[in-house]
Chain A
Amino acid sequence: MKSLTALLLGLVLSTSAYAQQNQQPHHEMAYESGCESCHDQGMDRFPSDQACLQCHDVDDLAEQTAREGEDAKQNPHDSMHYGKEAPCQDCHGEHSPKKALCQECHNFNYPKFND
């Protein structure tokens, strides 16, 4: 049990140190509110998919990334394969760089992509 606590503590410490080095500037407010404002399931766990939706609305996001005509279904927030259901963390990582899920199979270019 002792070693488990040490391990967990180590995880928390390394995670927070890591977090400080890898912050998205547009999430400054969230950092000011404390790590728990996103890490709703505990510091040693990934935030729930709902955590991001406390501030981001999927319909608004879909509107912001809407594409026209034959590219309409390439909207990462409203795609042909997953509709509006692709969870945020499948494409976005706060503390580690990621790329859009669509790009695993398609040569899509998302110039405004924030990892």
Chain B
Amino acid sequence: MTDRRSFLKFGAGAAAAGALFPISSQASNGDTKWDQEYDIIIVGSGFAGLAAAVEAKRLNAKSVVVFEKMGVYGGNSTLNAGQSCFAGTELQTKLGITDSAELMVKDQLKAGRGIASESLLRHSAELGPYVYQMTQDCGVKYRDHIITTGGTSATRSHQTIERSGAGFIQPMLKTARELGVETHNRHKFEHLIRNDNGDVLGVQIRRGYHFGHEDSGELINVRCNKGVLIATGGFGFNVNFRMAQDPTLTAEVGCTNAKGATGDGLIEMLAAGATPVHLAHIQSGPWASPDEGGFGYGAGFSLYNFPHSIAIDRNTGQRFMNEIADRKTRADLELQRRDKDGNPQPALLIAPKAEAQKDPSMKKVLKYNVAWEFDSVEAIAAHFKVPLKPLQQQIKDWNGYVANGTDPQFGKRMDAGRGIKLTAPFIVQRLWPKVHYCQGGIQINTKAEVMAAKTGVPIKGLYAAGEVTGGIHGVSRLGGCSTPECLAFGITAARSMMEA
């Protein structure tokens, strides 16, 4: 406590000095008064930041610091369903699933619709087995069940037993600290500090920052010996910024992200001349529920149930999409479900309780009013004012598709449903997309170096990994495919910085 208090007093003094001599992002080496110094500076404590921190220490980095602007660690990474696509694992073999990195890249390129980065996807997929092992070394525990996510030709989404990204973040944060990484919350990244050549020398940090109070805390300058990694995530919660890229993403569309996902790191790198890629490609999660905030419990429920369930339009009582198509396909179609006045009329996901109850998410969604149980088709129709006859016919037709193993309506991969028919009682959840992931960001190469727009060469000393980077996934990212990429490029950034 004494140490912390005297540390804080020192901080106040440094802030006064900072007020007299404000530092710009263009500050040159000679002008900057440095308050602290580390080998490696990591901004952001999500998957990419923590993977980099652990890997840097594994490579014997002397001093590594992670700055987190929020009060809590883990950012968006701690909130998701805890899934990570790896191809060719022992668990897949045990479950009789044939898969390969090559096939995973092929699936991702297809969803990317011609503008995904094959080299970055391949780099990430090939690091998969190392990532899978490293996370387990940190104490991450995976379920025995592998999830089928949309747009994949093999079942490969491995999931933490917590069924949350927290299952990665908590053990990785603990491991990083045990290895000697310093972690500081309420430290907001403000600027890159660069020399006259544009090389990154360090960062300006707002210490003691409280989210939503932009002037809180005091500015300090932190020097790096080897590099700065920006791992600040996306801008899903920055409604102005996202609407500038995609005007359909109004405030009507919610957001699954941690509220700190405001794009600070991205915006600062753009100011430093980094190359923007695909900023308009922003993905909404088609599994979200309008009956809770953020990611919530509904996402886990629908992810488990989509393969053997149907999503229906309340106006017609009929299906309107392949429930395991890629995310963009589904989110766009869900957003089109409207009442006669054009107001949102969320679709209904109808799942058979007999199967739904096998996953722990069912209890949660029922308990917290995110889904409801019905004994019959009639009860669903009456409750949600859906035309009964077409709904009955649709369910009858669907069960025929299950029996035949083909879906003539939307071409759904019926083997993912494992022959499970849709029978009463039913569990019903409403579906409305929420902004989930920003495919766009700044450009990196396979060394996680940030590329300068003006010259097309890396900006010296600057690295980026995770959602803040762009162009990897192209138009649409497949489910469970960000986590392995964030981890892989965090690891890569650490390796590159240690070689620099």
**CB distance B71 to A86 under 8 Å?**
yes
How many chain B residues touch the partner (CB < 8 A)?
37
Whose C-beta in chain A lies nearest to the C-beta of B19? A4
Closest to A54 in B: B1
Nearest CB on A from B179, distance (A): 18
Q: Which stretch from B290-298, B350-358, B418-426, B492-500 is at the chain A interface? A: B290-298
User: Judging by beta carbons under 8 Å apart, are B208 and A85 in contact?
Assistant: no
Scan residues 1-43 of chain B and give those whose CB is less than 8 A from a CB of chain A. Answer: 1, 4-5, 8, 12
A9 at the binding interface (Cβ < 8 Å): no
Collect the chain B residues with CB atoms within 8 Å of residue A108's CB.
368
Q: Which of A12-20, A55-63, A75-83 contacts B (4 or more CB under 8 A)?
A: A75-83
Q: Is residue A28 contacting chain B, with contact meaning CB distance below 8 A?
A: no
B4 touches A89 (CB 8 A): no
Query: Which residues of chain A come closer than 8 Å to B216, judged between CB atoms?
Result: 45-46
- Are the CB atoms of A107 and B72 closer together than 8 Å? no
A21 to chain B, nearest CB (A): 20
- Decide: B210 and A46 in contact? CB cutoff 8 A: yes
In this assembly, does A48 line the interface, its C-beta being within 8 Å of a C-beta of chain B? yes
A107 and B370 contact, Cβ closer than 8 Å, known pairs A46-B208, A81-B74, A101-B72: yes
A41 part of interface (Cβ distance < 8 Å): yes
What is the distance, in angstroms, from B254's C-beta to the closest C-beta of chain A?
Answer: 10
What does the 1/0 interface line of A39-80 toward B look like (CB < 8 Å)?
011100110111000000000000000000010010000001
Q: Is the interface of B mostly helix, strand, loop or mixed?
A: loop
Partner of A106 from B73, B210, B292 at Cβ < 8 Å: B292
Interface string of B186-213 (1 = CB under 8 A from A): 1000000000000000000000101001
Contacts of A50 in B (CB 8 A): 1, 4
B220 at the interface (CB under 8 A from A): no
Given the interface contacts A46-B210, A81-B164, does A105 sit within 8 Å of B74 by beta carbon? no
Assembled-state Cα–Cα distance A73/B79 (Å): 14
Residue pair B8, A87 in contact (C-beta under 8 Å): no
Is A32 in the interface zone, CB < 8 Å from B? no
Whether A70 contacts B293 in the complex (CB less than 8 A), given A90-B72, A108-B368, comes out as no
Residues of chain B in range 196-240 having any CB-CB distance to chain A below 8 Å: 208, 210, 213, 216-217
Determine if A103 is an interface residue (Cβ-Cβ < 8 Å): yes
Q: Tell me how far the C-beta of B11 lies from the nearest C-beta in chain A, rounded to whole angstroms.
A: 8
Does B369 contact A107, Cβ atoms closer than 8 Å? yes
**Chain A contacts of B293 at CB under 8 A?**
103-106
8 interchain residue pairs of minimum CB distance? A105-B294, A87-B71, A107-B368, A90-B71, A81-B166, A81-B78, A82-B72, A80-B166
Given A42-B12, A81-B79, A85-B72, 17 other A-B contacts at CB below 8 A?
A41-B12, A46-B216, A48-B8, A70-B360, A81-B74, A81-B166, A82-B74, A87-B72, A101-B72, A104-B294, A105-B79, A105-B296, A106-B296, A106-B297, A107-B291, A107-B296, A107-B368
Q: List 24 interface pairs A-B (beta carbons < 8 Å), by A numbering.
A: A40-B8, A41-B8, A45-B208, A45-B216, A46-B208, A48-B208, A49-B186, A50-B1, A70-B363, A73-B162, A80-B164, A80-B170, A81-B78, A82-B72, A82-B73, A82-B74, A85-B73, A101-B72, A104-B259, A106-B293, A106-B296, A106-B368, A107-B292, A107-B368
